[in-house]
Structure 1
Amino acid sequence: MGFLSRAISPLRSHLRRSALTTVCRRSIATNNGFFRISEEVREALHSNKPVVALETTIYTHGFPYPDNVALASHLESVVRINGGVPATIGIIDGICRVGLSAEELIKLASSAGQSTTLKLSRRDLSYVCGSRLVGKSFNGGTTIASTMILAHMAGIKIFGTGGLGGVHRGAESSMDISADLTELGRTPVAVVSSGCKSFLDIGRTLEYLETEGVGVATFADGRKGNVDFPGFWSRDSGLKSPVTIEDEIQAAAIIHAQNTLNISSGLLFANPCPAEAAIPKSEMDVIIAEAIKQANASGASGKDNTPFVLAKVKELSNGKSIPANRALIESNVRRATIMARELTVLEGQQGEAQGQSATYFTPPAAPLPSNPVSHTSESSPEAVSSSTVGTPADIIVAGALAVDFSCDFSPIPGTPAFNLIDPAPHTSNPAAISQSLGGVAHNIAKAAHYVGASVRLCSAVGDDFSGRAALNQLQTEGMRSDGIQVLPQPNRTAQYVAINNVHKDLALAMADMSILENMDMAALEKTWLTPLSTTTTKPKALLVDANWSPTALHTWLRAGKSAGALTAFEPVSTAKSTRLFTAPSPSDPSALFPNHLVDIATPNTHELTALHDTAAGLELFELPGWFRIIDALGIPSSGLRVALSLTTTPELVDRGVPQQAIKLLPFIPTLLTKLGPKGVLLTRLLPAGHHALSSPEHSQYVLSRCTNGDAEVGGLYMRLFSPERVLGPGEVVSVNGIGDTFLGVLASGLVKGGKIDEVVPVAQRASGLSLMSRESVSPRLRELKV
């Protein structure tokens, strides 16, 4: 090994490894005055979700502002899209942070170039943290070495980056060797990079890594045989890799073995630059030779050498090094995320083999069982044992179980977009992107579950990665999965993408719910509806969302009615809400009356209008049955405009909201129209003899009474429930799932015997909690009394 071996003191190595033994015993570090783990990263680590560490030197000392913010947002999105949780690591005001928020990322990236923003390796961490105690505040981008240290302190095992530091040419006299290499020798974190920058001495870098005991492997990336260790911008370096591996599964297995054996050194997985962006080695060799020649001529040495050479490489390559750099970083982060995913599978399988509960979000690689079952989890007090399979539930929720992506528009300060509220169309927008398990029916069921209801979710997933992830996450949430059917390819697990503006209000959404829309009716009947009709203990409520086809939707609702359950309909969207109504049968035009398919519906104002307009287009307002019920309400010939304005608001009346709700009552006797920050409008068709007709407490809400002696109709009830408190834009974290939360808590209260006017305020309170939560359904719902 030449001079490199002689440079290492046996005594120093012994002391270093002794100290490492203590460090390696740490799991997830406790937050303190110098160290902070974000709530999202801490929760992900606790749940054994795949977490990927990301460095920040590339933002503080690599790309200029605001390009660095865009890159940071993009790399975090790459992690999330591939099923992981990003943990961007940096130093803000002298505090080491694992998992930066969007605001913290912008703060750090915008400080690039300032004298108080430093490039931080291992040796610098105590300096910048300690200086905070004497009034000196520093920000810092973490190098590979310092990122590894902080990732290991947090319990993160995999780190995706661009290029590794290495042994500089001429290091036999200068001793210019990157601290990244020694860190790999003493910190058990797996690093995915495209090798080291090719103007370094790659051969001696590999020798040094061998001396440090670092396992080095290169992804074959479709190539056969023993491939080259990559040359950063080039896929080849002229030096063979010590080991060649096929894919991320093999890489995860190596990491798992390393950790299980408690080997206290890192691993380097070299990922070649994507072929379409790579620069041929022959071309790069000429460029690098010239860049080094000019660096020597100008006297650029030490810490000034690398920036000088990089600038010259960019210049001499006519800018081709920049897209290559971006492409390889993205590719490395993607590979790191997939490796993290596969590692959680292996760790989960080992835990199960040892009798521990599996709480990982990532699913096993094996095909899903046809009838998945929740297993007992000792770590979760809400877990469901396998004995509950097929057992009755008070509430059945039928509809979408999906993987949700929430994209919050986060314009960069100082850019033209910074003053915009909504993202710009036809271009890429900076955003904070999060991934979670969602779907309307799932969210409704989860809300009901959190407030203590006995609930069963009936939905379908594909035999794919997302489907496996969904089932495992249901188990983590302690929810039943015996109502989830796994459908073979080409069925795809449902996915939903929400684009939100700067206030977290929905600007655009895209949904793929084809797995439910294309459901085979025979399978639906056999799988869910036949057991529903034969269950000894009938459900008290059936909640159905509009993600089913119209035929399936009506079949569900008829089955609920036959079972004697309270039926509720969540419209989902303006387009899907119209599936509730079909043209009346010429042979039985009164079939809809008075046997309503839906007892309760929870549209927003747009969905209410869509329901109204669809009914009008189908001429349902011309049916004799509709006229009978409207006439029986006893609405005076002068109308109800004044009464409606007093009961609701003049603005709602001008928009026609209460009028549309009244016209829909013959089809849906209870409508809860969601008005956003203005509350919820309850519109009810009271049956004859209802207690509210004779109650002084409710007299102000009874706007008309039956006057023609109809035996079924009692009157019209309308009440506006204003929210207890309207949240400001800064308090709103996510609008996804607030309507679902409302219906889930509402149904839970109703099946427990609560009156609707008593339960609506509680459901509103629950929606407010979800508004302030990163999750679609806030875990704080457990605190509510329903």
Structure 2
Amino acid sequence: MALISKAIGKGSKASRQLVSPLWTSHRSLSTSRSFLRISDEVQEALNSKKPVVALETTIYTHGFPYPDNVALASHLESVVRINGGVPATIGIIDGVARVGLSPEELIQLTSSAGHENTLKISRRDLGFVCGLRLAGKRFNGGTTIAGTMVLAHLAGIKVFGTGGLGGVHRGAESTMDISADLTELGRTPVTVISSGCKSFLDIPRTLEYLETQGVGVGTFADGRQGKVDFPAFWSRESGVKSPMVIQNEIEAAAIIHAQMSLPLSSGLFFANPIPEEASIPKHEIDTIIEEAIRQADAAGASGKDNTPFILSKIKELSGGKSIPANRALIESNVRRAAIVARELAILETTHAEATGGNLNHITPSVQSNLSYSPPAGNAAHTLKPPPSGPSQITPKSDIIVAGALAVDFSCDYAPLPGSAAPVVISPQLKTSNPSIISHTLGGVGHNIAKAAHFMGSSVRLYSAVGDDLSGRAALAQLASEGIQTSGIDIRNQPHRTAQYVAVNDAHKDLMLAMADMGILESITAEDITARWLSDLNQAKPKCLLVDANWTSPTLHAWLRSGKKAGALTAFEPVSTAKATRLFTPSPNISEAIPVFPNHLADLATPNIHELSSLHGAATRLDLFSTPDWWRVIDALGIPSSGLRVALSVTTSPDLVNQGLPQQSIQLLPFIPTILTKLGPMGVLLTMLLKANDPRLSSPESSPYVLSRCTNGDPEVGGVYVRLFKPKKALGPGEVVSVNGVGDTFLGALVASISRGQRIEDVIDLAQKAAVLSLKSREAVSPELMALRAEA
């Protein structure tokens, strides 16, 4: 758990970003960090401008019993993640306010529900519970809406999803019983999304009080037309019209953006009606509430005891119907909050770029109707120079992807039903074929970046589009996915946005593909040096992935820069024609293609045909006869009898007969790790082991280490060869699309490697990710987010 201001200098820009304006400049950060801690995940998300959703904890400590509460807490966090956000569950543990609870902390808090030292925490209680910790008294606490808003704002979180808002109690004109939630909304700029307020409260007076506090109140139309009722928690109608109506999450995000930009110090309240199928009819719940209030009055339950008493009675009188309604509405609210936060992140990114900002991050995949207007003024045939100044400081990224961004068209052959002719699964040449045509945003670089992002890595993409209809569509889609566009150059005519057309048979297997990636070929090595390489050095990535859509000189410039930055460099060959660009030297470089340990690409992921193309190119260029190549091959310790028998055991006789592992071994001096994608046969891993590689002495790795260095070479250790068969092979009916499957594999693979895992330990996971994309209409399946815990 990161402290709010750990290792930050006084008055630094970083500290001002970490701490809300509520903390004045004279306030000591070393003191505040004793009371407020923000999790690493939430802090990284806030720094990267990803959508974050605050979640309260009173519902767990004073609503649901253990272990039902921990199950609900885990479920609501999953709802946020599935919808593209980062959950920030907020509570008090041992007298410290926590923004973003780990699973262990969540269990610690939820399991303390009902204990004497577990309190309900509003604004007024924060100083009490945090201060007494210094006196040796440690309290846990679930934060109310007011308490959660305060801590969310201190952390910099703008959107908060919860169940129901507190309000003005009936008879408040004499009791002054008004929830602190309402006052908090008047002074803390956080947007709260809930199902209105509970209908045993005085809803008209609640809305009047919010108006007095300067709080903007709106209700989601939820498909309805005209004026709509402000919802009453368990029912969609209250009999009181909402002050404003909000059509969708995009409108909600626009309102929040304007509120924050002005800036106004008050919050916003957006009411989200309970899902229709879970609602309790108004006449039914009104009768139950009247009886619950009567019993509360008779029992003398007032003040802070009033709401819990009434809720308990409503549960009893409704025969338990209020409980599933509670669950349904809070899940709906949290889902809507995540989508609003998503749209807000997109809007802020688009606005920042339009005004010269530079938000270097990728945020979760989303769908949106936001339009994108590319910046004007790009000179024809040239790249935009990077703006200068302190706002352009580039944050660190785990992975940088340099490659193609394209509009993909998938043409799936669809034989006409009822034909008397024999069933043919392949389209016919020189005629029109019935098909199902779809288009998505793709490109090898984009797909790899998206897959790595879905697996939880921080990723940035560098590419180019044309100033044309396809380019504008691509940029709009990027914005809707939450991927920042500052690394995408816009090039004027005659440059065209890259497009890829795949023609597949009836089983969705690729028959023919056409790719127009000329826009990347127009970019020179000098262009990327001027435009992007300074970013690369500042970002200090753990991995740089480059696809072969660049020209050879530009490809080599990317790889050399990645090596210089200390990143693992990965090469995606793209096609048989473009794979050979790795071995085509730049015209202004006289030296031969460098070999291990000075190689350019640490890793490559060819398919069978691309591997053959790489091997053929190396043969034609006579790369297998250079002294440097022979030095490495001799050091591998391959016996004079060869490795045919050993390779047949560790892979398969069929692969050996095709010569695939032999070709891979011969290429190892140029690419020390090669993962050959074999389709339904799996993945063939071939590695050149360094002299000190622990696999050389590992019993687990021993069956796959086929030779060891015997000549004392200080760099070379041996050869590792292993076949990874797929855990599950899909039948023809299960495959939805093959586009992006190889890219998904590489993105998922590198996301895991960048976390320090061994490559052989994550190949099965990368294959699992590829299977998800095979079963998805998207080039990269959003279901990859469910694999993050395994990465």
2:713 is the alignment partner of 1:698? yes
* Deviation at residue 286 of structure 1 after TM alignment: 1.6
Closer, same or farther: CA 383–261 of 1 in aligned 2, 3 Å:
closer
> TM-score, normalising length from structure 2?
0.59
Q: What SS does structure 1 have at the residue aligned with 2:553?
A: coil
Identity, % of aligned positions = 49
* Deviation at residue 91 of structure 1 after TM alignment: 0.9
2:778 is the alignment partner of 1:740? no
* Structure 1 segment 103-122 matched on structure 2, within 5 A: 103-122=104-123
1:276 paired residue number = 277
Closer, same or farther: CA 527–255 of 1 in aligned 2, 3 Å:
closer
1:779 paired residue number = none
CA contact (8 A) 1:171 1:177 kept: yes
The one-letter code sitting in structure 1 at the alignment partner of 2:333 is N
2:79 is the alignment partner of 1:78? yes
* Structure 1 segment 247-646 matched on structure 2, within 5 A: 247-352=248-353, 354-359=355-360, 361=362, 365-367=370-372, 376=386, 378=389, 379-382=391-394, 440=448, 463=474, 467-468=478-479, 472-473=483-484, 475=486, 521-524=513-516, 526=518, 535=551, 537=553, 539-540=555-556, 544-545=571-572, 553-558=575-580, 560=582, 594=619, 635=639
Q: What SS does structure 2 have at the residue aligned with 1:208?
A: helix
Gaps of 5+ in 1: 1-20, 385-393, 403-436, 492-515, 585-589, 600-628, 645-651, 685-691, 703-716, 722-734, 746-760, 777-786
Number of equivalences: 575
Post-superposition Cα deviations, 1:84-123, rounded to whole Å, max 9, x if no partner, equal 2222111111111112222222221122122111111111
* Structure 1 segment 35-50 matched on structure 2, within 5 A: 35-50=36-51
Distance (whole Å) between structure 2 residues aligned to residue 272 and residue 28 of structure 1: 41
Post-superposition Cα deviations, 1:226-278, rounded to whole Å, max 9, x if no partner, equal 21110101000011112222222222232233333333222211111111211
Closer, same or farther: CA 545–311 of 1 in aligned 2, 3 Å:
farther
* Deviation at residue 557 of structure 1 after TM alignment: 2.1
CA contact (8 A) 1:314 1:320 kept: yes
Closer, same or farther: CA 87–577 of 1 in aligned 2, 3 Å:
same
Post-superposition Cα deviations, 1:637-672, rounded to whole Å, max 9, x if no partner, equal 69899xx8xxxxxxx998669998996443222453
Closer, same or farther: CA 98–518 of 1 in aligned 2, 3 Å:
farther
* Deviation at residue 490 of structure 1 after TM alignment: 12
Closer, same or farther: CA 528–141 of 1 in aligned 2, 3 Å:
same
Distance (whole Å) between structure 1 residues aligned to residue 401 and residue 297 of structure 2: 75
Q: What SS does structure 1 have at the residue aligned with 2:152?
A: helix
Post-superposition Cα deviations, 1:335-386, rounded to whole Å, max 9, x if no partner, equal 22232233334444554455443456569921587999887354344599xx
The one-letter code sitting in structure 2 at the alignment partner of 1:667 is Q
Post-superposition Cα deviations, 1:139-186, rounded to whole Å, max 9, x if no partner, equal 111000111111111222221111001122222333222111111122
Post-superposition Cα deviations, 1:728-748, rounded to whole Å, max 9, x if no partner, equal xxxxxxx99685279999xxx
CA contact (8 A) 2:499 2:516 kept: no
Closer, same or farther: CA 450–308 of 1 in aligned 2, 3 Å:
closer
Closer, same or farther: CA 485–27 of 1 in aligned 2, 3 Å:
farther
Closer, same or farther: CA 112–561 of 1 in aligned 2, 3 Å:
same
Distance (whole Å) between structure 1 residues aligned to residue 189 and residue 746 of structure 2: 38
Distance (whole Å) between structure 1 residues aligned to residue 72 and residue 488 of structure 2: 37
Q: What SS does structure 1 have at the residue aligned with 2:276?
A: coil
CA contact (8 A) 2:406 2:498 kept: no
Distance (whole Å) between structure 2 residues aligned to residue 60 and residue 698 of structure 1: 64
Q: What SS does structure 1 have at the residue aligned with 2:208?
A: helix
Closer, same or farther: CA 382–354 of 1 in aligned 2, 3 Å:
closer
Distance (whole Å) between structure 1 residues aligned to residue 136 and residue 120 of structure 2: 20
Post-superposition Cα deviations, 1:39-86, rounded to whole Å, max 9, x if no partner, equal 222232233322221111111111222222222222222222323222
CA contact (8 A) 1:398 1:441 kept: no
Distance (whole Å) between structure 2 residues aligned to residue 534 and residue 90 of structure 1: 50
Closer, same or farther: CA 555–352 of 1 in aligned 2, 3 Å:
closer
Distance (whole Å) between structure 2 residues aligned to residue 665 and residue 55 of structure 1: 56
Q: What SS does structure 1 have at the residue aligned with 2:87?
A: strand
Gaps of 5+ in 2: 1-19, 409-444, 503-507, 524-547, 560-568, 587-592, 595-599, 625-632, 676-684, 691-706, 723-744, 767-784, 787-791
* Deviation at residue 526 of structure 1 after TM alignment: 4.5
CA contact (8 A) 1:300 1:308 kept: yes
Distance (whole Å) between structure 2 residues aligned to residue 189 and residue 523 of structure 1: 47
Q: What SS does structure 2 have at the residue aligned with 1:242?
A: coil
1:667 paired residue number = 663
Q: Of 684, 688, 692, which residue of structure 2 is paired with 1:682?
A: 688
1:132 paired residue number = 133
Closer, same or farther: CA 361–570 of 1 in aligned 2, 3 Å:
closer
Closer, same or farther: CA 177–596 of 1 in aligned 2, 3 Å:
farther
Closer, same or farther: CA 490–43 of 1 in aligned 2, 3 Å:
farther
Distance (whole Å) between structure 1 residues aligned to residue 79 and residue 249 of structure 2: 16
Distance (whole Å) between structure 1 residues aligned to residue 162 and residue 35 of structure 2: 24
Distance (whole Å) between structure 1 residues aligned to residue 301 and residue 754 of structure 2: 66
Distance (whole Å) between structure 2 residues aligned to residue 376 and residue 183 of structure 1: 42
Closer, same or farther: CA 464–667 of 1 in aligned 2, 3 Å:
same
CA contact (8 A) 1:54 1:161 kept: yes
Q: What SS does structure 1 have at the residue aligned with 2:251?
A: helix
1:159 paired residue number = 160
Distance (whole Å) between structure 2 residues aligned to residue 597 and residue 330 of structure 1: 63
1:7 paired residue number = none
Post-superposition Cα deviations, 1:525-545, rounded to whole Å, max 9, x if no partner, equal 645679889958363369554
Distance (whole Å) between structure 2 residues aligned to residue 127 and residue 597 of structure 1: 77
Q: What SS does structure 1 have at the residue aligned with 2:555?
A: coil
Closer, same or farther: CA 268–680 of 1 in aligned 2, 3 Å:
same
CA contact (8 A) 1:61 1:141 kept: yes
Distance (whole Å) between structure 2 residues aligned to residue 571 and residue 181 of structure 1: 58
CA contact (8 A) 2:56 2:143 kept: yes
Closer, same or farther: CA 369–207 of 1 in aligned 2, 3 Å:
closer
* Deviation at residue 284 of structure 1 after TM alignment: 1.1
2:22 is the alignment partner of 1:23? yes
2:53 paired residue number = 52
Closer, same or farther: CA 170–271 of 1 in aligned 2, 3 Å:
same
CA contact (8 A) 1:161 1:332 kept: yes
Q: What SS does structure 2 have at the residue aligned with 1:166?
A: coil
